[in-house]
Amino acid sequence: MPRPVARVLTLLELLQSGGLRTASELAGRLGVDERTVRHYIGHLTDLDVPVESVRGRYGGYRLAPGHRMPPLMLSDDEALAVLLGLVGGRWAGAASATGTAGDTATAKIRRVLPERLRLRLDALLGALAFTAPPGEALVPDSGILLPVADAVTHHRPVSIRYTASDGRRSERTLHPHGLVAHSGKWYLTAADLTAGEDRTFRLDRITDVRTLPGSFEPTEGPDPAERLLTALATAPYRYEVSLRVQGTAEHIHARLPAGIALVEDPPPPGDGKPGDGGPGEAEPGDADTGDADTETDGWSRVRLRVERLDWLPAVLASLDRPFVIERPDELRDLVAAFAERLRRSARRDPRDG
């Protein structure tokens, strides 16, 4: 699309958003001077778009009340942002407040999109998974996201250029499994043919993607979201933490999300062995929490890989469940020091300065 035409359409979008827009404001948004803005306004009026000019110190331009807007026109990036927002809101539960409005809005937008873009966005929605409410996640570059989604859907190999966290750059050949949005970031899970193993890649670190000829047969295994959470929880960090907690995986994940901790469910009742901290046997020194649920909950093993330990004592206390630290020993000292600080604060006389 020629640049002047694109700017006229952008000007129309700005005016359609409502309110009075000054010439200087419009010039700044369009990257032109005020004289060019007036020229573009003339183009709109020639197309029978009723643009009103308000004179005076606080004057500017606006659309006449009651003007019927033209058909929806979205760029690839705009359509991608809108559809992902609708899908993400539905996944997070926002759709429950609006009934089927999200579904009908998605259908309307899809109907007015060019077939080329509609098919690519359909491929993306079919390949995408969420592990948590999207929150402030930014929409990735459509030039990366859309071809990757197409490769996931149609089982096509891709070649990518990737920049690792330490700045190293490489070119890799992948068999992509799926796309996952997690905690504000976007990830691609794939079989890395270059390294000969399954890997996880941040989309914002992919600088180029090229679809290769042929196709591949997808392998059996966990879904992409589970692959990502397992990869994040087992990534190499400074400390390997192993705990046993008297509680269910659901209760533990409320404080230690799946992307941080791997939780092995407790064995069935009656499988616990004396002295192993299993169901029905508390560890020496465990305090009675008074919670009836802990009387029936088994002991789960929790594994984490973390760079720092200082945040864990407060999280373990918030679990409100008996726990045993298997390793590292440094965590025992941190928990003991945290408990001592709590004890001193609880016994401090409020009359003391």
Same domain, 39 and 92: no
β-strands 128-130, 169-182 pairing = parallel
Which helix (H) or strand (E) element contains residue 149? helix 142-154
Residue 352 covered by a domain: no
Classify residue 158 by burial, with Cβ atoms within 10 Å: 0-12, 13-18, 19+: buried
3 state SS of 204: helix
**pTM surpassing 0.85?**
no
Whichever domain contains 43, its CATH number is 1.10.10.10
Give the sign of the dihedral formed by CA 313, CA 318, CA 260, CA 86: negative
Please check the confidence at residue 12 and state whether its pLDDT lies above 90: no
Q: Do residues 225 and 257 make contact, with C-beta atoms less than 8 angstroms apart?
A: no
Same domain, 47 and 91: no
Q: Which residue has the higher pLDDT, 230 or 268?
A: 230
Same domain, 208 and 294: no
Q: What is the mean pLDDT of residues 7-12?
A: 83
Q: Which residue has the higher pLDDT, 55 or 285?
A: 55
Residue 15 covered by a domain: yes
Same domain, 131 and 165: yes
Same domain, 207 and 106: yes
Tell me which of 190, 221, 252 is where a domain ends. 221
What percent of the chain is modeled with pLDDT above 70?
Answer: 75
Domain that holds residue 110: 76-221
**Helix axis angle, 76-91 to 115-127, nearest 10°:** 30
Indicate the pLDDT class of residue 119, thresholds 50, 70 and 90.
Answer: confident
Same domain, 263 and 284: yes
Tell me which of 192, 221, 250 is where a domain ends. 221
Q: What is the pLDDT of residue 246?
A: 93
Q: What is the mean pLDDT of residues 259-287?
A: 53
Residue 244 covered by a domain: yes
Same domain, 252 and 181: no
Which helix (H) or strand (E) element contains residue 7? helix 3-16
Please check the confidence at residue 30 and state whether its pLDDT lies above 60: yes
Same domain, 200 and 306: no
Residue 325 covered by a domain: yes
β-strands 169-182, 239-246 pairing = unpaired
Whichever domain contains 125, its CATH number is 2.30.30.520
Tell me which of 221, 249, 275 is where a domain ends. 221
Same domain, 9 and 99: no
Residue 91 covered by a domain: yes
Residue 281 covered by a domain: yes
Residues in the chain: 353
Please check the confidence at residue 264 and state whether its pLDDT lies above 60: yes
Q: What is the pLDDT of residue 243?
A: 93
Query: 141-145 contacts: CB < 8 A, separation 24 or more?
Result: 141/203, 142/76, 142/77, 142/80, 143/209, 144/203, 144/206, 144/208, 144/209, 145/80, 145/179, 145/186, 145/203
- What's the number of domains the chain is made of? 3
Q: Do residues 176 and 112 make contact, with C-beta atoms less than 8 angstroms apart?
A: no
Same domain, 80 and 210: yes
Same domain, 152 and 281: no
State the average pLDDT for the chain. Answer: 77
168-205 confidence digits (pLDDT tens): 899 999 999 888 877 667 888 888 998 888 888 988 89
Residue 228 covered by a domain: no
Residue 22 covered by a domain: yes
Opening angle at CA 186, ends 183 and 190, nearest 5 = 125
Same domain, 85 and 201: yes
